[in-house]
């Protein structure tokens, strides 16, 4: 079984409390891990202004998850995004080897600055 590298970004409605937002992020992390995905990094960007209104909202909670998974997991994840009314936008992309290497390099640089 070949695991591909993926990155997903999803935006949650701004009417959620911090606790509800964190619960929703945990739900999607669990969907991935329950289906055999390996989480590489989870970045919660928090509340950000949207470039344009979506569903009459001008802000949203952004989250980025980088993971390795079997391609079949993506369909399950997409279905979960569509079923959850808290998600106002989502995107899943396949990462090529150059992007994966760049992300690892960036993570190492961040860890070095935090340790210094």
Structurally, at CATH architecture level, domain 4-115 sits in: 2-Layer Sandwich (3.30)
Q: Tokens for 50? A: 């949207």
* Rg value, the chain, Cα: 15
**pLDDT at residue 3 in the model:** 84
**pLDDT at residue 23 in the model:** 95
Q: What is the pTM of this model?
A: 0.86
Domain ranges of the chain: 4-115
CB atoms within 10 A of CB 8: 20
CA distance 22 to 33: 16
Q: What is the pLDDT along the chain (116 residues), one digit of tens a residue?
A: 678 999 999 999 999 999 999 999 999 999 999 999 999 999 999 999 999 999 899 999 999 999 999 999 999 999 999 999 999 999 999 988 877 777 778 777 777 777 76
What is the bridge-based pairing of β-strands 87-94 and 57-69?
unpaired
E strand or H helix at 84: none
E strand or H helix at 16: none
CA distance 86 to 15: 9
CA distance 10 to 65: 9
CA distance 82 to 84: 6
């Amino acid at each position: 079984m070949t695991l591909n590298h993926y990155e997903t970004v999803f935006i949650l409605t701004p009417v959620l409390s911090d606790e509800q937002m964190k619960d929703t992020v945990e739900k999607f992390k669990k969907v991935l891990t329950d289906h055999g995905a390996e989480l590489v990094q989870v970045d919660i960007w928090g509340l950000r202004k949207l470039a344009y209104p979506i569903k009459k909202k001008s802000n949203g909670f952004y989250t980025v998850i980088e993971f390795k998974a079997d391609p079949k997991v993506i369909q399950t994840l997409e279905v979960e995004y569509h079923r959850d009314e808290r998600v106002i936008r989502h995107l899943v992309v396949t990462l090529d080897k150059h992007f994966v290497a760049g992300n690892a390099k960036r993570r190492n640089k961040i860890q070095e600055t935090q340790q210094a």
